[in-house]
Amino acid sequence: MQLSIGKIVNTHGIRGELKVMPNTDSLEERFAKGNEVFIHYGKDTIYFEIDSFRIHKGCVLVTFKDHHHINDVEKYKGLDLLVEVDGSEDDDFYYYELEGCQVYYHDELLGEVSEILETQAHEILRISCEGKKDILIPYVERFILNVDADEKRIDVDVIEGML
């Protein structure tokens, strides 16, 4: 399965660095030197080996092996940077699997996951509630009772004051 880890939004400098707006967690793992990534460029799929990466102003700056000049990479602006995943992690979910899930508290629909916010401690689910203020629920075992990504359903338990 293909997973987008970010969108190439621009070049950075003249040495082949690309500015990527990430949409994945574990940036150090996803963008590690030596990892293979790919893009769909027209009808072609082009594979790259990551040569370096660094975080700069909320974006990832990445270079690919043997692509060290702006002319080598500027044509890729606007494209998604992809990786192959095997889906073998049973208890782990990707952001795209959680977004759009219906969230229930004691079988009562609270709303839908509209965004996953990253903090240093853990992720936070932003629940959009029709006609009400959004709810923020930490994505930790204490509050997340069950996730069924296939059924797009998340059951939560919250404490007083969260709703």
Digit-coded pLDDT (tens) for 76-114:
999 999 998 765 444 567 777 889 999 999 999 999 999
State which residues form the domain around 13.
Answer: 2-84
| 14 and 67, same domain (yes or no) | yes
**Percent of the chain having pLDDT more than 90?**
63
The structure tokens 């629920």 sit at: 137
| 6 and 75, same domain (yes or no) | yes
Model pLDDT, residue 87: 56
Average pLDDT over residues 8-26: 91
In a domain, 162, yes or no: no
Q: What's the whole-model pTM score? A: 0.58
Average pLDDT over residues 57-80: 94
Model pLDDT, residue 78: 95
Model pLDDT, residue 2: 80
Model pLDDT, residue 16: 95
Model pLDDT, residue 100: 94
Rg (CA), the chain: 19
In a domain, 116, yes or no: yes
| 78 and 142, same domain (yes or no) | no
In a domain, 90, yes or no: no
Model pLDDT, residue 13: 94
Whether the predicted pLDDT of 44 surpasses 70: yes
Whether the predicted pLDDT of 57 surpasses 90: no
Whether the predicted pLDDT of 19 surpasses 70: yes
Q: How confident is the model at residue 54 (pLDDT cuts 50, 70, 90)?
A: very high
| 111 and 47, same domain (yes or no) | no
Where among 84, 103, 118 does a domain terminate? 84
Digit-coded pLDDT (tens) for 102-156:
999 999 999 999 998 888 788 899 999 988 899 999 998 899 999 998 899 999 9
In a domain, 138, yes or no: yes
List the one residue out of 36, 30, 94, 28 whose CA is nearest residue 55.
28
> What's the token pair of residue 81?
């940077």
Our count of domains for the chain comes to: 2
Whether the predicted pLDDT of 51 surpasses 90: yes
| 80 and 149, same domain (yes or no) | no
